[in-house]
Chains A and B, each alone.
Chain A
């Protein structure tokens, strides 16, 4: 929906995914440097790193694309 001055829902989603991407990627890198005592199944895939990068990328695209002051 478009109302003058209203932020798009996709901007909120972008910001949250960006924050999640940073957190999950950070946790994944930390686990890589300090492997846990009881790793999850298929730990060697380092899913946290790849998923964190994915969230970071999606979040960044949506945050920029729907940032305030730019019509989505």
Chain B
């Protein structure tokens, strides 16, 4: 294999001086960023008068159109880790990173829209733990609410930390100043307008993310000579490695830079992690169940899926363009995060993979466009954080506080609790952000959290919706067993690294592959235990499962609608485009 070395940054690549910060903002850039902060806060203050009841604060009055719910559904997921992390991963692993946008998202979003949304919506639940309460009883709700709350504040803190690091590296802003200013802004607008304000701002942020990031890809492709020119440059730079094929290198762990095979991608990512995240993570599901009717709720994830398929154009493509335009034959311009940190300790400034997006921004965008690009990054961070905080406030207030501490308070009391909980959630997130300051590998940490909590939850919710024989004890013990098995597998590999050959089926598996396989086994453990315990315990009568389970629930027919208004038609269109993309980039 060709040796790859790393070059120090070349100041001539950018338009600014040689200081350690990547970008220097002009006055017009600062005005653009300040206008953004004014806009999001103004929306929060404006919507406060429309946020009076619990339904308003926690579910935006269940009045969202399919478009608003769909864009918000996607924007809540476009956090800092998505934008910066996956652009960096695309630079590191090539187009394989697009799996997290396509097979790792689209089938799950379609499945959510067509199969699962009817049960969430018809049951009138306010949250995913709330659905588990209706289906499996209080113990399953309590377990999922506590694990979701824990995961959400950890994710929120990591998101916040990632943003602060970017602002420090890119703009030279103090890391603590960035954390506090951004988190206070998010806390303010969510406290004022609840989910309504979060969703409105997420739609605004979604538009800004696209308009701010799109230009990088457009100008980058012009410079590279189009897609074929970019691919040719990458092959010239790294003739022995394949960075531009999606599936053809997944035959074995050794054939691709990610150290994963197709089994891990299809079953671990596509069937478990992705299905679990997009169908049971309340952060995203909350946006969909805020829709004004069932058809809008079904269309929302499909609209989200259509845009999700396009996100690689603004996230993955800049990473690939970095491989083509920043690198030289056999030499990577950017380095791994720990290498950059170590170099800095010796006084040498190197830039890490995760900085590829702002580096490309600096390469192509002058005054004004630079401010728009930075605003896009900040908008991404805020939408992700607001999503976590608003979901946390709902689950804490309804599924923990009301269920365990105060059952019969007034609606106004719960709204007040939701507002205080938003502030509390932000403060705890700041605490976890400070913890993340000492973490070495954030992305691995995030995938570990998903495998602990999301993968088994998917098994529980899926069986709850599709198998009426599943019982309350089965749901609870299955969820507990799945979660504990994931933590157990993680601890095993942590203490005995060679155990990865049993978890991921190969001693060559990299951490990402281990995460995918751990998720797969924990979901299977959950399903197995749920089935066994359910068969040993007494089932609920069908009359108690109406609106909750397939076979006991009447789903409103859409047969009277023209074809183009039916969600199932658009689901087919989305899946068709998805398949075509896999073939094009095979």
Contact = CB atoms under 8 A, between A and B. Distances in A.
Contacts of A52: 368
Contacts of B61: 1, 3
A66 interface: no
Interface in B218-237: 219, 222-223
A41 B363 contact: yes
Interface residues of A, number: 33
A1 B51 CA distance: 13
A50 B219 CA distance: 12
A7 B63 contact: no
Nearest to A7: B46
A41 B218 CA distance: 13
Interface string A23-45: 11111101100001011111101
Given A6-B50, A47-B215, A42 B364 contact: yes
Nearest to A25: B368
A2 B68 CA distance: 12
A48 B367 contact: yes
B68 A40 contact: no
A19 interface: yes
A47 B365 contact: yes
Contact of A40 (B26, B200, B366): B366
B204 interface: yes
Contacts of A40: 15, 362-366
Contact of A13 (B204, B292, B364): B204
Given A13-B203, A16-B35, A27-B367, A38 B372 contact: no
Which interface residue of A2, A9, A47, A52 has the most chain B CB atoms within 10 A?
A9
A47 B369 contact: yes
B65 interface: yes
Chain B, interface SS category:
helix
Given A1-B63, A13-B204, A51 B215 contact: yes
B43 interface: yes
Contacts of A13: 203-204, 207
Given A7-B46, A43-B366, A12 B32 contact: no
A60 to B, nearest CB: 15
Given A40-B364, A47-B369, A27 B63 contact: no
A1 B372 contact: no
A70 to B, nearest CB: 17
B366 A38 contact: no
A40 B24 CA distance: 13
Contact of A48 (B35, B43, B208, B369): B369
B225 to A, nearest CB: 12
Contacts of A42: 219, 222-223, 364
A57 B96 CA distance: 37
Nearest to A58: B211
Given A20-B372, A27-B367, A9 B28 contact: no
A8 B203 CA distance: 11
Interface in B351-376: 362-369, 371-372
Interface string B261-278: 000000000000000000
A26 B31 CA distance: 13
A16 B364 contact: no
A1 B39 contact: no
Nearest to A31: B366
Contacts of A55: 211
Contacts of B39: 12, 16
A15 to B, nearest CB: 8
Contacts of A26: 28, 368
Contacts of A41: 219, 223, 363-364
Nearest to B218: A47
Nearest to A52: B368
Interface in A42-72: 42-43, 45, 47-48, 51-52, 55
Contacts of A6: 50
A23 B219 contact: no
A12 B200 contact: yes
B204 A24 contact: no
Contact of A28 (B60, B200, B368): B368
A9 B68 contact: yes
Contacts of B200: 9, 12
B110 interface: no
A42 B211 CA distance: 19
A18 B459 CA distance: 47
A19 B211 CA distance: 14
Nearest to B56: A3
B64 interface: yes
Contacts of A51: 215, 369, 372
Nearest to A1: B63
Contacts of B537: none
Contacts of A24: 28, 32, 368-369, 372
B501 interface: no
A55 B219 CA distance: 17
Contacts of A25: 368
A41 to B, nearest CB: 5
Contacts of B64: 1
22 contacts: A1-B61, A7-B46, A9-B43, A9-B204, A12-B43, A13-B207, A16-B208, A17-B211, A23-B31, A23-B32, A24-B28, A36-B366, A38-B16, A39-B366, A40-B15, A40-B365, A42-B222, A42-B223, A42-B364, A43-B366, A51-B369, A51-B372
Given A12-B39, A17-B207, A36-B15, 4 more contacts: A1-B64, A9-B204, A38-B15, A42-B223
Sorted nearest first, the 3 A-B pairs with minimum C-beta distance are A27-B368, A24-B368, A1-B63
